[in-house]
C-alpha cells in the first residue's frame, strides 16, 4: 500500500485530469472492441502490451487463462463471455497465455498440490485436456520445456473450450466472431499468434491470423516454418504440432 495510495493521488491529479473527457464518455457506458482472456499473473497487463486505452478491452483474468467448457462451472468466466458477446456485441476474442506461467507449472504437478492448494487443484482440472495431452505426447521432455509446451497447448485447449459456448458457436457460424490465440513472451516483450494454416504460433507483423475455424485434421506432420514458434527449436515446435493434432 505504500506505493498504491500515492499512486491513487497521482492518478487523480495527472491521468484523470488530462483524460477527463474520456472518463465522462465512459460514465455513459462501455463499448469495448475485444474480450481479452488472460492469466492473472502480475507480469501480464493486457492494456499495457496492446497499448489500449480505457474502455477498449473487456478483460477476463484468472489463473492460467482458463475457459471452463460450457456447463462445467457456474463461475464468472462463462457469464463474462456471454455478456461480452451477447450484450456488448464484442466480435473479437483473444486467449492470451504467457511464458513462465505458474499455473502451467502447477498443472504439471497437479497431484502434488491437491493438499496444499485444493482450490487451485480443482481449478486447474478444468484444463485436464492440456495435462493429458502433455503426459501422453511429451512425457520425456525436461521440466522447462514442458512448461513452454504447456503454455502453447493450453491456449489451443481454451480456444476449443470457447467453442462449446452456445453464443460463441452461433456467432462463429454467422461469421460475426473471430478468435485469436496469443502467447506473450515476458522476456522479449513480443506476442505470438496462432496460425491454423501453419499449425504454429507466429510473430505478429502486419497480418493477424484468426482461430475462428476448427483446426483441420491432417495425416502428415509438416515441418513448421522457421518463424513459427520462434522461442522454441524446430524440433520442439514439431512436437507441439504433433501434439496439437493428435487429440480431437
Which is nearest to 141 in space by CA: 5, 238, 22, 20? 238
DSSP letter for each residue of 173-196: HHT--EEEEEEEETTTTEEEEEET
What domains can be seen in the chain, in order of their start residue?
30-246 (3.40.1050.10)
Alpha carbon distance 96, 65 (integer Å):
7
CB atoms within 10 A of CB 206: 4
Is the whole-model pTM more than 0.85?
no
Each residue of 120-172: pLDDT tens digit? 999 999 999 999 999 898 887 888 889 999 999 999 999 999 999 999 999 99
Each residue of 30-40: pLDDT tens digit? 999 999 999 99
Residue 98, beta-bridge partner list: 184
Which is nearest to 91 in space by CA: 33, 38, 50, 36? 33
Write down the H helix ranges in 28-126: 46-50, 76-82, 102-108, 118-124
Q: Exposed, middle or buried, 240 (CB in 10 Å: 0-12/13-18/19+)?
A: buried
Each residue of 59-116: pLDDT tens digit? 999 999 999 999 887 778 999 999 999 999 999 999 999 999 999 999 999 999 999 9
Amino acid at each position: 500500500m505504500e506505493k498504491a495510495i500515492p499512486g491513487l493521488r497521482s492518478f487523480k491529479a495527472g491521468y484523470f485530469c488530462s483524460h477527463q473527457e474520456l472518463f465522462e464518455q465512459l460514465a455513459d457506458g462501455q463499448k469495448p472492441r475485444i474480450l481479452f482472456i488472460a492469466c492473472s499473473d502480475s507480469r501480464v497487463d493486457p492494456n499495457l502490451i496492446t497499448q489500449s486505452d480505457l474502455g477498449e478491452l473487456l478483460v477476463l483474468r484468472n489463473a492460467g487463462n482458463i475457459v471452463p467448457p460450457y456447463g462445467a462451472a457456474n463461475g464468472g468466466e462463462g457469464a463474462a463471455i456471454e455478456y461480452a458477446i451477447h450484450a456488448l456485441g464484442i466480435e473479437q476474442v483473444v486467449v492470451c497465455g504467457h511464458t513462465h506461467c505458474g499455473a502451467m507449472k502447477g498443472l504439471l504437478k497437479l497431484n502434488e498440490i491437491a493438499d496444499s492448494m485444493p482450490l487451485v487443484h480443482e481449478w486447474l482440472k478444468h484444463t485436464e485436456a492440456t495435462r493429458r495431452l502433455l503426459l501422453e505426447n511429451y512425457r520425456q521432455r525436461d521440466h522447462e520445456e514442458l512448461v513452454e509446451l504447456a503454455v502453447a497447448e493450453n491456449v489451443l485447449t481454451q480456444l476449443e473450450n470457447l467453442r462449446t459456448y452456445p453464443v460463441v458457436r452461433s456467432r462463429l457460424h454467422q461469421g460475426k466472431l473471430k478468435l485469436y490465440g496469443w502467447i506473450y513472451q515476458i522476456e522479449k516483450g513480443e506476442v505470438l499468434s496462432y496460425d491454423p494454416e501453419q499449425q504454429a504460433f507466429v510473430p505478429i507483423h502486419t497480418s493477424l491470423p484468426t482461430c475462428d475455424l476448427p483446426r483441420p485434421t491432417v495425416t502428415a506432420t509438416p515441418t513448421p516454418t522457421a518463424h513459427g514458434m520462434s522461442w522454441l527449436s524446430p524440433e520442439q515446435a514439431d512436437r507441439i504440432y504433433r501434439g496439437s493434432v493428435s487429440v480431437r
